[in-house]
Structure 1
Amino acid sequence: MARNEQEQSAGAGGWLPEAGPIVCCITGDAALRDECARAAAVAGAVFEGVPSVGEDPQLWTRADLVLLGADISEVPPQRRGPTILVGAASQRHLLWDRAAALGIDHVAELPDAAGWLVDYMGRRGSEGPSGVVVGVVGGCGGAGASTTAVLLAGAAAHGGARVLLVDGDRLAGGLEAVLGEQPLEGLRWPDLASAHGAINPEQLAASLPRAAGAGVLSWPAGPRPAVRVPGAAISGVVEAARAAFDLVVVDIGRGREGIEDFGWASDRILVVVPGTLGGALSAAQLVHELPPVPLGVVLRGGTGEGVDAEQLAGLIGCPLVARIPHLRRAAAAAEWGRLMELARSGPLRRLAAAVCEALPERAPAASAGDGPALALGARLAGRGRRVAR
């Protein structure tokens, strides 16, 4: 549907908002344009579809979001807004190659990733810039995903970003235990179990504990049963967190509950694996259970003789985002509640840099200045990318 047709429909009492984000789809594939148009309509976005960039060059810079078909091999360089490469599952290898060549942030296989695409476009139309939600999951047991999530959040906070660390594994005993010798003061998940409707982002941020400059939302560290929080409450909290923070890092855990509650709310997921063949094989099975969002591998520790990090990532089916050497002090630091102190180490700063891109400008917070937020961006695209299924 062309933009002027949508505006006429809105003026005649149609349900589409008049001020929705402008989504431009550039592809010579008419069926793919129709697929993207349906997703845009559901998201309440203004849709414009053209067969090539030359058809309307201004759209490339004017659109809030560009959906680029896999048949488009050349694009102008001047674009600051997000671009998503779209295509069919049968074009998977072409999509990978094209994303790497063009440095595109996201890849979506349609129709399987239509739901994710609708959600992404919907957030583009929300008031104010939206933070990035990065999920962290262990590719196998004992991979160190929780440690990685904590240190990633700490590294981003040290860099000036407004960060929230979320404990998404209800049965892990409380992530707050590794963040301080004394209990943190502020709200925890049980306090938010009865939340419903829209949650005020500023009030949420002000009510949460803080550790090393990052907000923390954890399950209580203690022997009492951790009663499950309703999905509606979790969704409301995550959406409020998007508005209040630049970056939300979620320790998802390997259980289905965490994946269902937080995996689908993530913009991208980091899969943490040790440098072993067994760990990679386990992770390769896990990724089939993850939602259709961009995935990347973080390799912890060294690799065995004859084992290559890139090959392990290839076996898993995700690009290698970063490698973290074995941190000898991590176990003791976690035991004493001082894990965040290791976030300033060189390997963690490099991990942050490997997954860091600038966010849209937003008003400075009272307690922190603007800063970069972690995202899987052009660095990841340059190495190839696992596409949204």
Structure 2
Amino acid sequence: MTQQTWTMEARRQPVVLAGGSQRVRDLVARACASAGVAPVFVPGLDEGLALNPVVLLVGPEQAAGGTTGQRDVIVVGMTEDENSVWGTAANLASSRVVILPQGAGWLAEYLGRRLGSATSGSVVGFLGAAGGCGVSTFAYWCARQIAGAGKSTVLVDGHPLNGGLDLALGIEDRPGVRWHDLSDIRGTLNPEQLASALPSDGRLSVLSHAARAGTVGGGPGGAMPSSGAVVDAARGAFDVTVIDLGNGPAARFLGAVCDHVVLLVPSRPRSVAAAGGVLRARNSVPMTVVLRGPVQEGLDAWLVADLMGRPGPLPFLPFVRGARQAEAAGRMVSFVVPRSVRKVVRSVTSAIELLE
């Protein structure tokens, strides 16, 4: 089959396959043809990442490393290479594996849906440079703002071991599916079915882990085997998917499918240093950095922006009295957000929408 080769002049590509045998390349080319897209084949990860693809396919022989922050990474290989395929996926920012030839139909369907702009919503991750800085609360405020502006929105809980975001919101008794109900999904999930099955708070849907102990599932690092299929379905069902990524190992898997990341940085020297590492690790994904108050040791929104090489001043989220207590008591839905906070929430959500 005719294959496209990489050149220095190439611009961003929709699908790139790094490595893989000739048989894998032929099957990938056929799947891409079914999806109406032309793949680019390159010998290794470095060349693939240089093209900044929307979807990066990786052969099982590729060494781990260098893909942190890549939005979609799928490891592909033949049936006889299945063990090495799963081993490579475990070492990359990937929760998806395709075994060929039987998985070729799924790959064609996925690429067609993922690259079809008419049915592809945005996925925005919220991440903290340090634990306990209020990421869940801020993600909820932003998701509520987006939903209030008329966009269909789902808030996704990325903390498998944190007791359930629905408990913090106070909607744990509302009927609807949670992550553990989706743990057995293999292949694809119907977007309309997902949307109709989720509990909601007004126009905002919520996908939470279970509030009850003993119902958490997951694979390596707490990642659900179905995570990729669930986020794919969310893209198709909602205009915006907001993921509270958390700080645990599971954030690696969900963070890999985000189109944009909002990084909340407490105004403390160690947190600012940690944020610099996050920016370097996720440099292939657009990122909005928000400074979290109270300001300490002179680290204001201008100075932190300068230290991180960002244009200043950074959006500043002030300390909100009572917010932590409201989250702990399951009163986030009814908590009255101060005007100063509503202003920064509008600023951040506007920036996200402009970058879609």
Normalised TM-score (structure 2):
0.67
Deviation at 1:281, TM superposition (A): 1.2
The within-5 A match list for 1:143-162 is 143-162=133-152
User: In the alignment, is residue 295 of structure 1 matched against residue 287 of structure 2?
Assistant: yes
Which of the pair has the greater relative contact order for Cα pairs under 8 Å at 6+ separation?
A: 1
Report SS of the residue matched to 1:341. coil
After superposition, the C-alpha distances for 1:299-325 in whole angstroms (9 at most, x for unaligned) are 122323532313213434555652211
After superposition, the C-alpha distances for 1:184-213 in whole angstroms (9 at most, x for unaligned) are 321000100011222111110000011242
The answer (yes or no) to whether the contact 2:267–2:294 under 8 Å persists in 1 is: yes
Q: Distance in 1 between matches of 2:300 and 2:264?
A: 16
The answer (yes or no) to whether the contact 1:163–1:246 under 8 Å persists in 2 is: yes
Deviation at 1:181, TM superposition (A): 5.9
Report SS of the residue matched to 1:332. helix
Q: Which residue matches 2:43? A: none
Query: Which structure 2 segments of 5+ residues have no match?
Result: 18-28, 39-45, 57-70, 73-110
The answer (yes or no) to whether the contact 2:218–2:225 under 8 Å persists in 1 is: no
Aligned pair in 2 of structure 1 residues 290, 257: CA closer, same or farther (>3 Å)? farther
User: In the alignment, is residue 265 of structure 1 matched against residue 252 of structure 2?
Assistant: no
- Of the three residues 114, 136, 149, the one matched with 2:126 is 136
Report SS of the residue matched to 1:250. strand
Structure 1 residue identity aligned to 2:9 = R
How many residues are matched? 276
Q: Which residue matches 1:284? A: 276
Q: Distance in 2 between matches of 1:37 and 1:195?
A: 30
The answer (yes or no) to whether the contact 1:167–1:252 under 8 Å persists in 2 is: yes
Deviation at 1:14, TM superposition (A): 6.7
Q: Distance in 2 between matches of 1:174 and 1:201?
A: 22
Q: Distance in 2 between matches of 1:36 and 1:351?
A: 32
Normalised TM-score (structure 1):
0.61
Q: Which residue matches 1:377? A: 355
- Of the three residues 30, 54, 73, the one matched with 1:117 is 54
Q: Which residue matches 2:246? A: 253
The answer (yes or no) to whether the contact 1:321–1:355 under 8 Å persists in 2 is: no
Deviation at 1:127, TM superposition (A): 6.3
The within-5 A match list for 1:54-203 is 112=49, 114=51, 116-118=53-55, 125-126=115-116, 128-180=118-170, 182-203=172-193
After superposition, the C-alpha distances for 1:6-48 in whole angstroms (9 at most, x for unaligned) are xxxxxxx8799xxxxxxxxxxxxx943236469579776768x
Q: Which residue matches 1:330? A: 323
Structure 2 residue identity aligned to 1:186 = G
Q: Which stretch shows the higher mean deviation, 306-315 or 264-273?
A: 306-315
Report SS of the residue matched to 2:145. helix
Question: Matched residues, percent identical?
Answer: 33
Query: Which structure 1 segments of 5+ residues have no match?
Result: 1-12, 17-29, 48-108, 358-372, 379-389
Structure 2 residue identity aligned to 1:32 = M
